[in-house]
A = this chain, B = another copy of it.
């Protein structure tokens, strides 16, 4: 994997330069992306932030910013509205503006998923200009196979092109879902299809769920088809269900080294920990993703109580 990457074609020279700066910033000059996902307060409402093993810190959204500013994340993805209330106190964080989100209240059994763009790109432009923050890119979720796929693909394509024209990265969360998809949401071939679709939309990164084999087990080798299909669009993968820290890191390492992904998108596995634990966990991920260290080296960041 080369650490140099061409900016997308078809944008002004200045924008291409800015895109490259943002790419280098977000990938920490490694070509790999450690995306800290913090959009679940809409997607899952408050379910991820309280109860069970969740650290008490997580009840307050500022917890996300405290982690993002202290930990070596490539970018912190959250809704623009949330960032507008905390960014002034955490100006050092590279932000990714998540431009659509929906709640999980309406289940797929009731209706196929639909998630529409929130802020207009003119508002994004103004926000970038006036906030003074390090906005490295934008994010958008699509649900291939949903009856609302046409509207979401159209919004995604326009957002990506506008983002590039502003010099911003574009990351697409691609989750096949809906009556037509049924229980194939994490089928390796389906995930590969979604990855190729994201490449055709022109995004820089495709965030996909980890593919499962016929028995429902994760296996990093199943990622190969998706990574190939995505071509120059880099694939990053969620860590999957909660597990112990070392297993998580082991799996992430295999996703990258066996599966060929180029980073990770991690949300709950980070912010459900207390602030110190979360920061240590991010340091371990950073070691793997950005510094290309081994799992053994990464684990050392966790301290004794991992």
Contacts and interface: CB of A to CB of B under 8 A. Distances in A.
A41 B200 contact: yes
A6 B83 CA distance: 13
A117 B155 CA distance: 9
A231 B105 contact: no
A144 B106 CA distance: 9
A119 B181 CA distance: 26
A102 interface: yes
A134 interface: no
A105 B149 contact: yes
A202 B82 CA distance: 5
A232 B62 contact: yes
A238 interface: no
15 contacts: A9-B130, A9-B132, A9-B133, A10-B83, A10-B133, A11-B126, A46-B193, A59-B228, A61-B231, A81-B160, A81-B202, A103-B145, A105-B145, A116-B150, A116-B153
Interface of A: 6, 8-12, 39, 41-42, 45-47, 49-50, 59-62, 78-89, 101-103, 105-107, 110-111, 114-120, 123, 126-127, 130-133, 144-145, 147, 149-151, 153-154, 156-158, 160-162, 164-165, 176, 178-181, 189-190, 192-197, 199-203, 225, 228-233
Report, nearest first, the 4 A-B pairs whose CB atoms are least far apart. A81-B202, A45-B193, A118-B157, A105-B145
